[in-house]
Chains A and B, each alone.
Chain A
Amino acid sequence: MIGFVLVSHSAKIAEGARELAEQMTQGRVAIAAAGGIDDPAHPIGTDPMKIVAAIEAVYSDDGVIVLMDLGSALMSAETALEFIEPERAERVHLCSAPLVEGIVAAAVQATAGGTVDQAMAEAQSALEAKRAHLNEAAMLPPAQDEPITSDATHTLRVIIPNALGLHARPAAKLVALTGQYQANLTLRVGDRTVNARSINQIATLGARQGDELIAAAVGPDAVDLLAAVQRLADDNFGDPLDLPAAPSADGQIERHDGVPDHVIVGIGASPGIAIGVVQRLEDERLAIPERNVADSLAEAARFDAAVATAVADLRQLETTTRQRIGGERAGDQAGIFEAHRLILEDPELIARVTEAITATSQNAESIWWAQVQALADRYRALPDPYLSGRAADVIDVGKRVLRHLLPGQTRGLRFDQPCILVAADLSPSDTAQLDSAQVLGIITVAGGATGHTAILARALGIPAVVGAGPAVQRIEAGQQIALDGGSGWIWTTLSDDERQTLAAQRADWLEAQQQLRQRAHEPAITRDGLRIEVAANIGQPDDARQGAAAGAEGVGLFRTELLFMGRESAPTEDEQYQAYCEAASHLSGGPLIVRILDVGADKPIDYLPVAAEANPFLGYRGVRNWLDAPAIARAQLRAICRASAEHNLKIMFPMVSTIAELRDVRERLRAIQAELSAEEIAHNPDLEVGVMIEVPAAVLMADQLAPLVDFFSIGTNDLAQYIMAADRGNPAVNHLADYCQPAVLRAIRLVTKAADDAGIWVGMCGEMAGDPLAVPLLVGMGITELSMNAPAIPAVKAVIRTLDRSACQALVDQALALESPEAVRTLLESRASEQISG
């Protein structure tokens, strides 16, 4: 139950008011008096420490309401809050109601099981009865309650017209509007007045259709601002006019013909049926450290930086969602990210955290998380199911900031049990880490079928519904739901019939998946008879075993960096020889392409120091530094050559950008081979040599590089970054580094043409190779080896079997003529759907 604290300058008044209220509640409510100061000669005053003690004495998680008399009582109470744990302080509410009337009304409300908000509202209206009795019906207009100021206060009264009241979207619009004018705006509904710059305060007003909203503005633009508020209200606060009067119990607001009430329809993004309990991305467990910091100002600055990064992420998501999706859905989905951003731009929330950090010298993570939870609790306490559902958004945003405060901690999502994962959005990196044994299905608020999340979900074989809209944020964690990643339907509850039908469909789907996996061990041959070699990317020898189990016919990329990292000296020739032999032994004679050590200033190795660089990706890396480390180069070359005696090894050089570099590495290799021959050590003298094509210079020089090697392997991740001059790690530009960019496709085409002219083969080992949607283009361009992360293999092989080379070549011609990655995706998507229907 709620606790109460009475603060007065006089101990007698505080104590007297307490006695009066207790008479009404008969000891069922905890009330503490914090009146006067401990100076018998001058007992009148207020003591913040006394208030702290009183709050602690009556504290409960249901909340504490503090009523004060006047003057220093307010300041002392505010000061007291700084000495209370932030998580608790968030639940302590200072109430402006009159002391005696307020405590009696609020305490009575508390005994009736009322929430803090209800008790606060009771206290605020406690003078009504008195006013009525004394015939003071004409109350002062609320604007005059505002602090005295030289500027006049202008007020506007509107009846809230829209069906859902001031929910998050109208609140966001009001905040955005206020920010455009030089004026302060307060909004009053009933007895609560809030700052219009705070989305959390507006949304937690709980204003409903038909309520009277009193907007009071002060400042040079006050009149204009109120006119704009009036226009917004006239526009139904931006809500469509035909929204239902009230959201249904599960908070769902979008309706489709012929769809039952308990079904939400999104975009089917990855086929398959999933039935399971909901886990939200925000339920992912994070260990939040609690510690004291030496420099609280620096800590506050660190917090500000994390918020700024999160705001930038959200702006980017908002823009890309609008661009990629288009249409009415886009506004809805992008609006979620906008609302999330506004939560973070709420000056009151941020100031409270920053202040608490400096006041308590506690670390930002613990204070932020406490504030986020408290805010989410405030939303949860709202009676309107639509608004209380916003708690999930608050937690979501909170997590986003935490991820920036705790870098590294959130790698790899872990859940307690198999679940259906619900999230506002999933980043490609989040999705790529999902384990299909843990995550039965994926639902996102935003996104489209061609989004990265969808592509990756398909490759991982996880059923997914994306772009399901805000309604899914209202699905409770732990609820049993089902989804069909083909039709895009989400069942928020399940009747017995539905459960049976869906379970049967799931069994069929699982069987098809199983067949897919089995067929993954057969070769992938196009309908016109071209065999495409499907291989795995690996980082250590044992990965080759897992790759082979998933259907890999070989390894297209062995990144040798892991063999060199986390140790004090380079692995010896013998150690490397063992590693290469072990990897090859899992492949039943299939090829193992070993890429020589590729390090730079972004991932330095102790014994191969690379000085810090401003631009590691444009720096001393790959063959550029490997050529200057003769001992390391020699040991690695010897190990690879020796392993090539018994196994099907090939060697590949990264970051080649000039013909001279290639000649240099070939010469090194030739010298090592001669050395081994002289020592009579077995090796394959015809070891195939390849270069990775990832630097634009190599693309443009491909015709001169090709005659000097046996194969090319295109690394699309780096190639896309270098072609587009855009860092994948930078949310402001990472959408540019997209392998569907026509510029990237044209680069690939140049490479395959040069290879074709020289009669060498081309493989691909970037993310694009594992994207089932992109595979027809790659086959059409003449790529004959695709190397990817093992889980994507079955789906890629299945796609290859549906292809016809001449149709793929026609598709390439169409794609190369397009002007944007969106257009390319649309083309690929329509081809894929034709394929399914045909």
Chain B
Amino acid sequence: MSEMLTKAQLVRWLETSADLFAAQKAYLTELDSAIGDADHGINMARGFAKVAEKLPSVAESDIGNILKTTGMTLMSSVGGASGPLYGTFFMRAGQAAPDQDVLAASDLAAIFEAGLAGLVQRGRAEVGDKTMIDAWTPALAALKASIAADETLLEALIACVNAAEQGVQDSIPLIAKKGRASYLGERSAGHPDPGATSSYYLLKVLLETVKADA
């Protein structure tokens, strides 16, 4: 498989994500109001709006730097738990990025893997704790399986997004064990996890960005 994710596509992914979170602000916040502190949509919209503001200043630098800048920006502008979490995710991803202007599917898997490791370390959560890890873990596994099966970047991303969506669905019956949702105990079951949902959105936008160029 030969297609690569270009730097331009990466920048567009992050910009489009800002648009998406602005549009989905109300929905994500509503999800969060069911089991948390009703700020996830607002937080993500604010964080990614800041990222979109920052992007032009780093669009010419390398992919690693773009991802790290995204991480730093989210870290100091999101406000809720997703700030340190997504911040760490993108910073670790940036550290793992190869020294090139394009990413092969395997590079993408490697940077997601580094990012996910950061999430696990920062949040000390496991699969099934009803957190964003419940979306990222199956998504990464599917991405890697597709790469191993020699599928195209597009096919691999489709598998990845489908797995993330399934992860969000699977989080619905779970009882939250982390974050403020955990105070609700049993009452947190029956709702999708807002963090898993926003993670799924991010991946979906990435797929659409690649699809648009295909």
Give the interface of A toward B (CB within 8 A).
Answer: 37, 39, 42, 44-50, 70-72, 75-76, 78-79, 147-148, 296, 355, 358
Q: Are B83 and A47 in contact (CB under 8 A)?
A: yes
Instruction: Flag B151-170 by CB within 8 Å of A: 1 or 0 each.
Output: 00000000000000000000
Partner of A48, one of B46, B75, B121: B75
Chain B: CB-nearest residue to A49: B76
B203 / chain A contacts, CB cutoff of 8 Å: none
Q: Enumerate chain B residues within 8 angstroms of A358, measured Cβ to Cβ.
A: 95
A148 to B182, CA, bound (A): 10
Given the interface pairs A72-B81, A75-B123, the reply to whether A42 lies near B46 with Cβ below 8 Å is yes
Q: Is the CB of B42 within 8 A of A72?
A: no
CB distance from A71 to the nearest CB of B (A): 5
Shortest A47–chain B CB gap in Å is 5
A272 CB to nearest chain B CB (Å): 56
Q: Which of B9-17, B53-61, B84-92, B101-109 contacts A (4 or more CB under 8 A)?
A: B84-92
Contacts of B123 in A (CB 8 A): 75
15 A-B pairs in the complex with CB atoms less than 8 angstroms apart = A39-B77, A42-B46, A42-B79, A44-B39, A45-B78, A45-B80, A46-B83, A47-B77, A47-B79, A49-B75, A72-B81, A72-B84, A147-B124, A147-B177, A148-B177
CA of A148 to CA of B180, assembled, Å: 14
Q: Whole-angstrom distance from the CB of B164 to the nearest CB of chain A? A: 22
- Nearest residue (CB) in A for B182 is A148
Question: What is the bound-complex CA distance between A148 and B126, given in angstroms?
Answer: 12
A78 to B85 Cα, complex, angstroms: 11
Given the interface pairs A39-B46, A44-B39, the reply to whether A71 lies near B81 with Cβ below 8 Å is: yes
What residues on A are CB-neighbors of B42 within 8 Å? 42
Q: Mark B107-126, 1 if CB is under 8 A from A, else 0.
A: 00000000000000111100
Contact of A39 among B79, B88, B179, B180 (CB under 8 A): B79
Q: Determine the residue in chain A with the shortest Cβ distance to B85.
A: A75
Q: Is B43 interfacial (CB-CB < 8 Å)?
A: yes
Say which size band chain B's interface belongs to: 20 to 34
**B78/A75 in contact, CB under 8 A:** no
Complex A-B, nearest 4 residue pairs according to Cβ-Cβ distance, in ascending order: A45-B79, A72-B81, A49-B76, A37-B79
A639: shortest Cβ distance to chain B, in Å? 54
Tell me the complex Cα distance, A358–B95, Å.
8
Known interface pairs A42-B39, A71-B180, A78-B84; 13 further A-B residue pairs with C-beta atoms within 8 A, sorted by A's residue number: A37-B79, A42-B46, A46-B79, A46-B80, A49-B76, A71-B80, A72-B79, A72-B84, A75-B81, A75-B122, A75-B123, A79-B122, A296-B95
B interface residues (Cβ-Cβ under 8 A, vs A)? 37, 39, 42-43, 46, 75-85, 87-88, 95, 121-124, 177, 179-180, 182
Interface centre among B79, B122, B177, B180 (most CB of A within 10 A): B79
Residues in A whose Cβ lies below 8 Å from that of B46: 39, 42
Q: Are B122 and A45 in contact (CB under 8 A)?
A: no
Q: Chain A residues near B95 (CB, 8 Å)? A: 296, 358
Are B83 and A76 in touch, CB under 8 angstroms? yes
- The distance in angstroms between the C-alpha atoms of A341 and B180, with both chains bound, is 41
A72 contact set on B, CB distance < 8 A = 79-84, 179
Task: Check A79–B43 contact: CB distance below 8 A.
Answer: no
Residue of A nearest to B72 (CB): A49
A45 cross-chain contacts in B, Cβ below 8 A: 39, 43, 78-80, 83
Q: Which residue of B lies closest to A79 (CB)?
A: B84
For residue B177, which residue of chain A has the nearest CB?
A: A148
Assembly CA distance A42 to B32 (angstroms) = 15
Partner of B180 from the list A47, A50, A70 (CB cut-off 8 Å) is A70
* Chain A: CB-nearest residue to B50: A39
A802 to B65, CA, bound (A): 75
User: Quick one: given A71-B179, A358-B95, are A47 and B81 in contact (CB under 8 Å)?
Assistant: no
Chain A residues with CB below 8 A from B82, complex form = 72
Asked whether A79 lies within 8 Å of B77 as measured between CB atoms, the reply is no
Contact between chains at B87 and A79 (CB < 8 Å): yes
Quick one: closest A residue to B179, CB to CB?
A71
Question: Closest approach, in angstroms, between the C-beta of A50 and any C-beta of chain B?
Answer: 8
Chain A residues within an 8 Å CB radius of B79: 37, 39, 42, 44-47, 72
Q: Is the CB of B180 within 8 A of A79?
A: no
Q: Are B88 and A79 in contact (CB under 8 A)?
A: yes
Q: Is the CB of A48 within 8 A of B179?
A: no
Q: A50 — which chain B residues lie within 8 A by C-beta?
A: 76
In the complex, are the beta carbons of B122 and A48 less than 8 A apart?
no
Specify which chain A residues have a CB less than 8 angstroms from the CB of B77 in the assembled complex. 37, 39, 47
Distance in angstroms between the alpha carbons of A50 and B76 in the assembled complex: 8
Which of A75, A79, A147, A355 has most chain B Cβ within 10 Å? A75
* Residues of chain A within 8 A of B179, CB atoms compared: 71-72
Could you say which residues of chain A place their CB within 8 Å of the CB of B76? 47-50
Contacts of B37 in A (CB 8 A): 44, 71
Q: Are B43 and A75 in contact (CB under 8 A)?
A: no
Nearest neighbor of B82 in chain A, beta-carbon distance: A72
B157 to chain A, nearest CB (A): 26
Q: Which residues of B contact A296 (CB under 8 A)?
A: 95
Shortest Cβ gap from B9 to chain A (Å): 26
Contacts of B122 in A (CB 8 A): 75, 78-79
A37 to B80, CA, bound (A): 9
Separation of A39 and B46 alpha carbons in the complex (Å): 9
Q: Give A36's nearest chain B residue, CB to CB.
A: B79
Give the CA-CA distance A75 to B81 in the complex, in Å: 7
Minimum C-beta distance from B131 to chain A (A): 12
Give CA–CA (A791, B116) in the complex, Å: 61
Residues of chain A with a CB closer than 8 A to B87's CB? 48, 79
Docked pose: A45 CA to B79 CA in angstroms: 4
Measured in the bound complex, the distance between the Cα atoms of B180 and A76 in whole Å is: 14
Q: Which residues of B contact A48 (CB under 8 A)?
A: 75-76, 83-84, 87
Give bound CA distance, A734 to B20, whole Å: 65
